[in-house]
A and B are shown apart, each in its own frame.
Chain A
């Protein structure tokens, strides 16, 4: 599994697609950051940042990590050489998570440096710690989205299914749930809802047990994805 992760990381990092999206993310960040003039605005931007990083990171990673493999059929070679489908699924998810982590770390540094030096804002140690936590939770949320998307990608053997599901969940999940569930009970049990509650628990000095549920969700998505993948007939 480790060998496949090494091979995938090396291959994906040679694709210009990733760097184009990193550059785009930086441009958006500079354009947004320069217009900031208050701490309040900056906090609002933190939320927006989490969403746009999710989009800007997910699309190129899915295209390069999964899309190229579906197109070239390289997964078939890897399976034929004795790597089990479960291990393949998990190693792709780990590789995706490492790449996502890179994107989120870059987004944080970009955001932090930009606001400190360009917008001349000042972060207290507590604010810095909370921003780090927020970025970290954004990453966890994105890993959960990848795990969910992999169910559809392996079921349909197509990267578009994954991209559409992730974009749909990022853009519309909350809007749809707000429309159909005024109580917010359904949102509370979604990954997003649990992460929000977990964050609130940390702020209140309580144990964020919600994060454990998120990890259980990720494991469940992997198990379901593997069930689909195991049944998939692979064509030569």
Chain B
């Protein structure tokens, strides 16, 4: 059985009268690249806030690396790196910003610069000298990722890491996520509302809608094939029968893989994320 690094059980969160999380159950296992999918306002960011201890839950349990009590949760949060917006000082450059977080994380002496060199190299920001406030969105995201992987955390949380990025930037993030997972053994949780992109990044998916994880699926679920007849009928057997009765011969049936997007919309309904 897979080792659960992050587990949420019946987590509920209410802001005033608005119930944002209505009993979230989800499990992220060691080695996963777990994609959290949902439209804006579905509750993805609130789920991350619960995991990171930035928000208190009204009910339920969050466990990180098997711990549920507050003291141990805080200790285990040190094993998490995360990208949630750009939390940097505008007047400091990439290196100085990372130095702040590296020292706060407990790096000393030469190890500080060695670690910063390593992560800046990975995100291709090593030679950037200007202050953070002058960075493009892509650079800001890359620095955010560099900060998230500082100290090689066991778990990496990336909230909408491709937001506002151009196609090359999106591809870069995808490659980085795969590299962190495969080379460094990090378990990654990545949220996005760009389903096509997430489909190429993650191995497991949690579909969030209106404050609950309505279903957790794997790549295997997406690989289940189904016959598609390009005809304006939903009942295939009946379509075949109708066509056969009409003397129309079916020469070819195309077997198409269900896209994550198709799966999502079939489950949730609607078409606009």
The residues of A with any CB-CB pair to B shorter than 8 Å are 3-4, 6-8, 10-11, 14-15, 68, 71-74, 76-84, 231, 233-236
Contact = CB atoms under 8 A, between A and B. Distances in A.
A168 B106 CA distance: 38
Nearest to B71: A84
A72 B89 contact: yes
B54 A234 contact: yes
Nearest to A233: B55
Contact of A78 (B48, B89, B104, B106): B104
Interface in B94-129: 96, 99-101, 103-106
List 3 A-B pairs, minimum CB-CB distance, nearest first: A82-B77, A80-B52, A7-B103
A7 B105 CA distance: 9
16 contacts: A3-B106, A7-B99, A8-B104, A14-B96, A68-B89, A72-B89, A76-B54, A76-B84, A76-B87, A78-B101, A80-B84, A82-B76, A83-B74, A233-B49, A236-B45, A236-B48
A79 B87 contact: no
Contacts of B101: 7, 74, 77-78
A107 B68 CA distance: 49
B252 to A, nearest CB: 50
A158 B113 CA distance: 33
Given A11-B92, A72-B89, 18 more contacts: A3-B104, A3-B106, A7-B104, A8-B104, A10-B103, A14-B92, A72-B87, A72-B88, A73-B85, A73-B87, A74-B87, A74-B101, A76-B87, A77-B82, A80-B53, A80-B82, A83-B104, A234-B54
B55 A3 contact: no
Interface of B: 15, 45, 48-49, 52-56, 74-78, 80-82, 84-92, 96, 99-101, 103-106, 147, 159
Contacts of A15: 91
Nearest to B73: A82
B89 A80 contact: no
Contact of B53 (A10, A73, A74, A79): A79
Contacts of A74: 87-89, 100-101
Given A72-B87, A73-B85, A77-B147, A236 B54 contact: yes
A68 B92 CA distance: 11
Contacts of A6: 103-104
Contacts of B104: 3-4, 6-8, 78, 81, 83
B158 to A, nearest CB: 12
B85 A236 contact: yes
